[in-house]
Every structure is written in C-alpha cells, then in structure tokens.
Amino acid sequence: MTLEWRAQLSVGNDLIDADHQHLIGIINSAEHSLKAKNMGGLTMVLDSLFSYSKIHFSREEMIASAVGYTDVAQLHASHETLLTKLTEMKQEIGDRLTDSAGEHFTAFLRDWLINHVIKEDMKMKPFLAKHSPRFDPRK
C-alpha cells in the first residue's frame, strides 16, 4: 500500500514538510523494490534513504534550534536511533531478501514514518507556528 502525503502530516514548515514528502517517496520506492524482490533497486533505494535521512535530520535539528524548540537533544537522539536501526535493517536484508526480512523492513519503514513524523516532529509544531511556513534559518 503506497503511502501518501496528507495535510495533517504537516509540521508547518515548508522545508521539513518537503523533506517528509521526499522521504515518503523513497519509502514507497523501497516497498516497490521489496515487493518486486529487486535487490539492486532496493540497495540503491536504501542508500538513498540513509543519505537523505542524514540531510533531513541535520536540517530539521537546525530549524528546531532556530525556532527555540526545547527538546533538540531528544530529537537528535531519536534521529541517531533511526539511523542505527536503518543500518541494522540493511544488514539484516544483506544480499538475499527473504519474505520475513522484507515484511520486517516494510513494517519498520512505516513505523519509522509514523513515529518520527506524527509522534516526534509534531512536538515542534507549536514552535514552528510562531514563524512563517517558509522560515529557513540559513537565510
């Protein structure tokens, strides 16, 4: 089942929301590769997910700090945990994709998105609401 961006996933910052939309696209590509048992495609998608997640997490933490979010340390810790789990999942899949590993990975990706965006990032929304949706601390 393809994940779709919905307005209720918005944290109120265009940069973070665009990142989340891009991550949803990567997760959908990973699920497609899993279903097709396309190891080459899955490897590329997982590398992309890991690389883009690092970029996103860094940007998100920078924005959180700039808007005065009071729990940036917890946000950073949750990001580090997600990257560690992603690395572990890549190792679990290895060179062979079993049905159970694929199902486990699919569940992990969906849980990651739900827990990260809905449970973790939504805590920033009141702080982000004090700024324009186009707020970018680099400018």
Q: pLDDT tens digits for 68-81?
A: 999 999 999 999 99
Burial (CB count within 10 angstroms: exposed 0-12, middle 13-18, buried 19+), residue 105:
buried
Q: What angle do CA 86, 111, 11 make, to 5 degrees?
A: 100
pLDDT of res. 37: 83
For 61, the enclosing helix (H) or strand (E) is helix 39-66
Angle in degrees, CA 47, 65, 120, rounded to 5: 60
CA-to-CA distance for 71 and 120, rounded, in angstroms? 10
Q: Can you give the three-state secondary structure of 16-55, one letter per residue?
A: HHHHHHHHHHHHHHHHHHHHHCCHHHHHHHHHHHHHHHHH
User: Over the stretch 16-27, which tens digit does the pLDDT of each residue have?
Assistant: 999 999 999 998
The confidence score (pLDDT) of residue 43 equals 85
pTM: 0.90
Predicted pLDDT of residue 100: 78
d(CA 102, CA 9): 26
Residues of the chain with pLDDT under 50: none
One-letter amino acid at 117 equals: V
